[in-house]
Amino acid sequence: GQNIDQPTEMTATEGAIVQINCTYQTSGFNGLFWYQQHAGEAPTFLSYNVLDGLEEKGRFSSFLSRSKGYSYLLLKELQMKDSASYLCAVRDKGMTTDSWGKLQFGAGTQVVVTP
């Protein structure tokens, strides 16, 4: 199984940069996802990393270090609409059908953007 840790809450001002860290311990790693979830809404996909390094997508970037069991999501030029919960999810690399493909989610990081 996996153990996934991310901070509970972060606050930043509009226009700033925020970095959300995610550490994980897993018996078999096969990819890491970041999702955004606004209050009362469904999570939506932001990014996916399976190899080490940085993936950039507009204002959002995600980094992965498999050897350190570590990822971060970087939000640049923060906007008020970025206030949301950000979920880190690790995909299992199971050896049997019943575990491969399952995602284990962290508890989420609530980002509050202030004017």
Partner 1 sequence: DVKVTQSSRYLVKRTGEKVFLECVQDMDHENMFWYRQDPGLGLRLIYFSYDVKMKEKGDIPEGYSVSREKKERFSLILESASTNQTSMYLCASSLVVGGEQYFGPGTRLTVT
Rule CB under 8 A: which residues touch partner 1? 4, 8, 30-31, 33, 40-45, 48, 87, 89, 91, 97-98, 100-108
Beta carbon nearer to partner 1, 89 or 111: 89
Is the Cβ of residue 2 or residue 69 nearer to partner 1 in the bound state?
Answer: 2
Return the number of the residue (2 or 72) whose C-beta is nearest partner 1.
2
Query: Which residues neighbour 30 within 8 Å (Cβ) at sequence distance 6 or greater?
Result: 50, 91, 92, 93, 100
Residue with tokens 């980094």: 63
Task: Tell me if 85 sits within 8 A of 111, measured CB to CB.
Answer: yes
Q: How far is the CB of 26 from partner 1 (least distance, A)?
A: 14
Cα separation, 97 vs 56, in Å, equals 32
CB of residue 21 to partner 1, shortest distance in Å: 15
